[in-house]
């Protein structure tokens, strides 16, 4: 089913707690991305990584952190500094910059912070 997995599907946390969302791909893709989706909104880019051990901030990186220690994994941590963390989080990957443009999405994690 696309080779990108995200876990868990639903996540509940108390305000003030950090939480890490998992994203794994077995497509041998170089580039990986994190997007946030709010109701009635498009997807907004949080962070992206074109290669292992390197990542860049997207449009709404404040309050989030990432790591890319392995090609197949790109976890996202939502920190307590994120003002409105409740959202649907989508991870995506693409083969490599310049080789293919298509981004493949994971099934998403719906995070609720109360």
C-alpha angle with apex 88: 99 to 22, nearest 5 degrees? 65
Q: What are 77's two structure tokens?
A: 């941590």
Binding segment (CB under 8 A) for other proteins, from list 17-25, 61-69, 76-84, 96-104 = 96-104
Among 3, 13, 27, 45, indicate the residue that binds other proteins (CB under 8 A).
45
Measured from the CB atom, the residue of 80 and 95 that comes closer to other proteins is 95
Distance (Å) of CA 31 to CA 21, 105, 108:
17, 12, 17
- By CB under 8 A, residue 56 contacts other proteins: yes
- By CB under 8 A, residue 93 contacts other proteins: no
Q: Give the bridge partners for 59, in sequence order.
A: none
> How is residue 93 annotated by DSSP?
E
Measured from the CB atom, the residue of 69 and 101 that comes closer to other proteins is 101
C-alpha angle with apex 63: 27 to 79, nearest 5 degrees? 80
- By CB under 8 A, residue 94 contacts other proteins: yes
Task: Judge contact between 4 and 33, C-beta under 8 A.
Answer: no
Among 31, 76, 111, 113, indicate the residue that binds other proteins (CB under 8 A).
31
Residues that bind other proteins (CB under 8 A): 2, 31, 33, 35, 40-45, 48, 50, 56, 58-59, 90, 94, 97-98, 101-108
């Amino acid at each position: 089913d696309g080779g990108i997995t995200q876990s868990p599907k639903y996540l509940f946390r108390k305000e003030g707690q950090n939480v890490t969302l998992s994203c794994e791909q077995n497509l041998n893709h170089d580039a990986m991305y994190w997007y946030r989706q709010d109701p009635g909104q498009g997807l907004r880019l949080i962070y992206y990584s074109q290669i292992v051990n390197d990542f860049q901030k997207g449009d709404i990186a404040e309050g989030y952190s990432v790591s890319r220690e392995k090609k197949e994994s790109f976890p996202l941590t939502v920190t307590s500094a994120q003002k409105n963390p409740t959202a649907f989080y989508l991870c995506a990957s693409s083969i490599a910059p310049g080789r293919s443009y298509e981004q493949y999405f994971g099934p998403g994690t719906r995070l609720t912070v109360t």
